[in-house]
Structure 1
């Protein structure tokens, strides 16, 4: 019974599909472009901004500034896992965009791009992405990590000239 239903539906689809193979050309109704869309298309510099779906505030250059940086190694851990990627973040807007929630005491913001963070393997990829979207950006180069000279335990008891070092235990 199931196979019979598939056969009849397939036959119906084939017949209906044959109806659409006419030589008549379809007509398209004229559509008026809204004023807001015209304004956005006039301000954008490339087509990627039009199809990205990003709000108007992000598509116009000069409104927001992106920061491209490489995160520093955390002082509490030895791993280098989060230091390999280049990050692209938006700078935080001024205080006019923040308020404190009276119930919980948390700070809230209307800035939907503040929590957005994109990772790239190369600095050039992040720069190319920001330029292709028409965003203003600046690059923060990572500082060189300090190298520590390993020393032995006995180095803690070497004599050094000058005043005594006071060691406070409490």
Structure 2
């Protein structure tokens, strides 16, 4: 049983950081997913990897939980977001690389 501890990124449908501050402990699948020939759905017999997802307030709580329960884990620290600062006036700047047209 191997787990990943990470902080999920915000989804494309979010403009804010709600529910993205929590740390998640998620188990890696132990077997491959199989497709159902009739419906085309994928399924697995491993319920831990597909149904168990634990949330924690801090990274230390998640690590402490994994260590106390004897779960081997890999920790993924979040990458800092690249901030691109732009202003609307930059569209009309004199030194613009490409000409602004309609």
Which band: TM-score by shorter chain? 0.7 to 0.9
- Equivalence for 2:61: 125
Q: Give the superposition deviation at 1:76.
A: 3.1
Size of the aligned set, in residue pairs, is 98
Out of 73, 76, 84, the residue aligned to residue 137 of structure 1 is: 73
- Equivalence for 1:107: 42
Structure 1 residue runs without a partner (length 5+):
1-63
Out of 79, 82, 91, the residue aligned to residue 19 of structure 2 is: 82
* Secondary structure at the counterpart of residue 48 of structure 2: coil
RMSD: 1.9
Does the 8 Å CA contact 2:5/2:73 hold for their aligned counterparts? yes
Q: Give the superposition deviation at 1:82.
A: 1.7
Structure 2 residue runs without a partner (length 5+):
none
Q: Which has the higher contact order (CA 8 A, sep 6+)?
A: 2
TM (norm. structure 1) is 0.52
Structure 1 runs, 4 residues or longer, greater than 6 Å off: none
CA displacement, residues 26-84 of structure 1 (integer Å, 9 cap, x when unaligned): xxxxxxxxxxxxxxxxxxxxxxxxxxxxxxxxxxxxxx111000011223321211211
- Equivalence for 2:91: 156
**Structure number with bigger Rg:** 1
Whole-angstrom distance in 2 between the partners of 1:99 and 1:67: 22
Out of 71, 75, 80, the residue aligned to residue 8 of structure 2 is: 71
